[in-house]
């Protein structure tokens, strides 16, 4: 009799668990978090129309959303921890933040796309043939470039690369580097991975002449005044920071690419598996809703602070390089 009772209770528990995961179709408050990669007031102003858009699109997917609460986290980590705790349901976070919290509740929904560039190879000399331009295509990743400036040492390194000569670590360690903070993907983490892959495990920490700077405008400025020979920067940074260039020559004429990192995946829209409203249906509804929103000009304006131009269904495998960065670089900082 006890066995029959236990079996019945177990069946009730299983059925209840299944139904609670799939029957949540009305959401009182949908919590959406943004990372502070732009000023909070700028993000909140841009995302005001997103509330109504999400209600409408989620309704088309079978979910009634009564309220949408949009917040900007105090840090990237704070938003990741909110996903872990289930206190936010949806978050727009970088790939690195997604990978950092994927084992604790962050589920990849979508990968953002941005305007692609006219050059997209890992061959440095290809980036030196002509100035980089935006294209009409969309890309789910970008690269970091190891850029040499107009200093004597910088030009020496660029000439070697353009001539097809492989640089040695001694070549690089003789130069003065300007790097971003260790949390920067394009200005530190991926360049460190590039060094490690190409120079027997060497990292930025092994470079004797390096200075930490703040922002790519400062990187351009220091290269132009020959305070630095080399500065890693995201691939379109020279397009964005021409105003910080004080040399007589154009920024593309005066600089050259001597190294190219692996692709850095774009931001994600991730959901929390620890949220009370999470289910496979909810995940699909979020995907379809944001795809529909991004298909309109008004929708894209809501994510303009992040330069997102669209979204694709996310594939966790595409973030394997980010996992390598987490394992090989961040763990050893």
The mean pLDDT value for 215-225 works out to 91
Query: How many Cβ atoms sit within 10 Å of the Cβ of residue 330?
Result: 15
274-288: average pLDDT:
97
Cα–Cα dist 190/183, whole Å: 10
pLDDT tens column, 10-38: 333 333 333 344 466 999 999 999 998 88
Closest CA to 275 of 11, 50, 21, 6: 21
Region 245-267 average pLDDT: 91
Instruction: Please give, one letter per residue, the 3-state secondary structure of 171-184.
Output: HHHCCCEEECCCCC
Neighbours of 146 (CB within 10 A): 24
Model pLDDT for residues 160-201, shown as the tens digit of each residue: 999 999 999 999 999 999 999 888 899 999 999 999 999 999
Q: How far is CA 205 from the centre of its chain?
A: 23
DSSP-derived letter for residue 127 is G
Q: Strand, helix or coil at 230? A: strand
Residues 282-327: tens digit of each pLDDT: 999 999 999 999 999 999 999 999 889 999 999 999 999 899 888 8
CA distance 127 to 168: 20
Which of 62, 18, 72 is closest to 41 using CA atoms? Answer: 72
Rounded to two decimals, the pTM is 0.82
CA dihedral 165, 170, 175, 178 (to 10 degrees): 100
Question: Alpha-carbon distance 225 to 223, whole Å?
Answer: 6
Q: What share of the chain has pLDDT > 70, as a percent? A: 93
Pairing of strands 134-139, 106-117: antiparallel
Average pLDDT over residues 72-100: 94
H or E element that contains 232? strand 230-234
- pLDDT at residue 11, rounded to an integer: 36
């Amino acid at each position: 009799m006890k066995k029959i009772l236990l079996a019945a209770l177990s069946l009730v528990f299983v059925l209840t668990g299944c139904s609670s995961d799939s029957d949540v179709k009305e959401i009182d408050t949908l919590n959406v978090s943004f990372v502070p990669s732009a000023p909070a007031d700028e993000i909140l102003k841009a995302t005001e129309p997103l509330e109504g858009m999400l209600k409408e699109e989620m309704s088309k997917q079978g979910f009634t959303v009564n309220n949408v609460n949009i917040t900007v986290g105090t840090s990237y980590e704070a938003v990741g921890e909110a996903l872990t705790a289930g206190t936010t349901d949806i978050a727009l976070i970088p790939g690195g933040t997604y990978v950092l919290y994927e084992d604790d509740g962050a589920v990849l929904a979508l990968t953002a796309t941005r305007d692609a560039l006219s050059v997209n190879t890992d061959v440095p000399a290809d980036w030196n043939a002509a100035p980089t331009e935006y294209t009409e295509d969309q890309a789910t990743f970008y690269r970091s470039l190891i850029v040499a400036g107009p200093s004597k040492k910088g030009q020496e390194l660029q000439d070697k690369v353009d001539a097809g000569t492989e640089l040695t670590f001694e070549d690089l360690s003789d130069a003065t580097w300007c790097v971003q903070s260790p949390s920067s993907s394009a200005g530190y983490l991926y360049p460190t991975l590039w060094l490690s892959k190409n120079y027997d495990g060497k990292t930025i920490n092994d470079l004797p002449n390096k200075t930490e700077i703040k922002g790519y405008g400062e990187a351009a400025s220091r290269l132009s005044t020959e305070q630095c020979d080399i500065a890693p920067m995201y691939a379109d940074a020279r397009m964005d920071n021409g105003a910080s260039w004080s040399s007589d020559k154009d920024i593309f004429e005066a600089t050259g690419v001597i190294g190219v990192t692996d692709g850095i995946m774009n931001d994600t829209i991730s959901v929390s598996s620890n949220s009370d409203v999470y289910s496979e249906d909810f995940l699909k509804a979020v995907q379809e809703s944001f795809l529909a929103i991004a298909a309109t000009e008004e929708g894209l304006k809501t994510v303009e602070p992040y330069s997102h131009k669209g979204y694709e269904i996310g594939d966790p495998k595409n973030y394997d390089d980010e996992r390598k960065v987490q394992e090989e670089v961040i763990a050893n900082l």
